[in-house]
Structure 1
Amino acid sequence: MRFVPFVMISAALIVGVASPAWAITNGSADLSDHPEVGALIGDKPHPDGTWSNCTGTLISPTVFLTAAHCKEGGQKTARVSFSSHYQPGTPVYTGRFVADARYRDKSELHDMAVVIFDKAIPDITPATLPPAGLLDELKAQNSLETAQFTPVGYGSLTPTKKKTNGSRFKYTDTRNQTSISFKSLTPRWLKLSPDSSKGDGGTCFGDSGGPNFLGDRTSHLLVATTVSGTDNVCKATNLDYRLDTPSARQFLGKFVTLP
């Protein structure tokens, strides 16, 4: 699901309309930095010839974490590629798509899903999940304000000012990364915002379900997944679903051993 209807976030979280996300902007090719990050691949190409729909992360040899809103219709399985640049013929792995049963289409709460594979994905080390309450601990230590985060995804590059072939968004089926800065923390959300003075980027359409790693490009500590943004031109605050909360761990704990 590359483009999805607008959804509302609670006024306690954000004022206005938020659009489910997203793709890496102002970033660079990830290459081999995060081989555990993969793309959900459609059964047929999009009109622009590309194939990826959403992003996700391998969190155990047989479990791939993504967003529930990436589900299309009555989808029960999903195809995943871990290639840094997907092309037809690239190996894909098919698994069972399981969304958090608490998720509802008109709410971004519980926007989590996993793809479960019958066999372990070979030659890829899964990302590391955070211990319970990690971000709360860092906030109490006043460490989040200076922390660096690294989002990774297969989504649209920086939107153009003018439409080309009816779209402002350019997709390349390529895994990209950028850096982004801390803005605020709520009981469910990690809010990250691009700081132009640091050369930050952000996420955009197609990065949904993708990881936000705590640290620089060498980090594999996955603390939140990309869900939404506060605009539809991919320049403002990103809303990322925390993975260290009791709610998130309740879902994840059904499929992986948690730290």
Structure 2
Amino acid sequence: MRRPALLAALTGTAVAAVLAAAAPASAINSYNARPAPERTEVGALIVQWDKDGNPATPDDVDWHCTGTMIDRNTFLTAGHCTTDWSPGARFYVSLAQDVQGELDAAHAAGLSPEQVAAAVAVEGIEHTSPDYPGNSADAHDIAVVEFSDTQAAALAKRWPFTPATLPTAGQLDALGSRGLDAATWQVTGYGTEEAARGPGGQTHPGGGVRLKAEVGFNALNKTWVRLAMNESRGYGGACYGDSGGPNFVTVDGALVLAATTITGDGPCYATNVSYRLDTPSARGFLDAYVDLP
């Protein structure tokens, strides 16, 4: 769920100093979750956008969603993460473990929005499914951020990673409900924690640090896989800011990026509803950007 809501002026040494000052923060829903420093292919979508009606002076930059590198120059995320922004919005990706800490340090250094974005991430071009938004049967809630060769090289130099493995056509159907229920599932993302009750009502604290949690198989639909997040069963789960992020299933000992987080229950306690990547519609979109298995 999306959270409601090139650096010419700095030398490489200055950028490094800013990021070294980053402080840790909390993230994702807190029960049964662990840090995921090894999931270097999972990153945060950062958006630089205008909110005062003057596109010439973009005045906000922040992380908003999660996503995954699926080849050397393609970052997969959700369609609702890349739409409904003001004209001129620019999209960046960071594969850092603590994105919020790096953003905080860059803001504290007094950098402009453009400088902040370039200090913490690499810019790319977004491509959202032309069929988004769809309907309940197929939301087409899928998008990518594409990087040029130069941008891709900069990304890999800064954060070495191995791209995630996409599923083959119909792989989840082939495994069947029994096989999917027996398999190990893992959600990864930068999202906020589950709802906390306070004097002002429910809030969702934290966010901005890459964590992982085991989830359980619930149900398989035509374009959706529903995953259980129940704390009592030893599971964790996704929350706001985890949209577009990966839901991995272990098949023959290997992690397969089966689906991307899209939505779930409001308090983030029960269900993660994820968009399947083995369907004709998802593969039809991705085929323009990556070599599909």
TM-score by length of 1: 0.82
- CA deviations over 1:96-150 (Å, ceiling 9, x no partner): 011000002876710000000113231211100000111001116x211222210
Structure whose alpha-carbon radius of gyration is higher: 2
Contact 1:39 1:56 in 2 (8 A): yes
Contact 1:76 1:98 in 2 (8 A): no
The structure 2 residue matched to 1:149, chosen from 164, 185, 193, is 185
Contact 2:48 2:61 in 1 (8 A): no
Change (3 A) 1:31 1:237: closer
Query: Does 2:37 align with 1:32?
Result: yes
- Match of 2:197, as an amino acid? K
Query: Does 2:76 align with 1:57?
Result: no
SS in 2 for 1:215: strand
* Distance (whole Å) between structure 1 residues aligned to residue 223 and residue 87 of structure 2: 27
Alignment of 1:16-165 (within 5 A): 23-43=28-48, 51-71=62-82, 72-74=85-87, 77-86=90-99, 87-88=102-103, 89=106, 91-104=120-133, 109-119=139-149, 120=152, 121-122=155-156, 123-139=160-176, 142-162=178-198
Residue equivalent to 1:193: 228
Residue equivalent to 2:20: none
Contact 1:2 1:53 in 2 (8 A): yes
Contact 2:35 2:212 in 1 (8 A): yes
Aligned residues: 235
Unaligned runs of 5+ in 1: 5-21
* Distance (whole Å) between structure 1 residues aligned to residue 88 and residue 128 of structure 2: 10
Residue equivalent to 1:208: 243
Higher helix residue share: 2
* Distance (whole Å) between structure 1 residues aligned to residue 164 and residue 199 of structure 2: 37
TM-score by length of 2: 0.73
- Match of 2:166, as an amino acid? L
Change (3 A) 1:227 1:25: farther
SS in 1 for 2:163: coil
Query: Does 2:265 align with 1:236?
Result: no
- CA deviations over 1:140-188 (Å, ceiling 9, x no partner): 6x21122221001111012212167x76111231011101100110110
- Match of 1:3, as an amino acid? P
Change (3 A) 1:78 1:167: farther
Residue equivalent to 2:262: 227
SS in 2 for 1:138: helix
* Distance (whole Å) between structure 2 residues aligned to residue 235 and residue 219 of structure 1: 27
Change (3 A) 1:64 1:53: same
* Superposed CA RMSD: 2.7
Change (3 A) 1:163 1:105: farther
SS in 1 for 2:144: strand
Residue equivalent to 1:173: 208
Give the deviation of 1:59 after TM superposition: 0.3
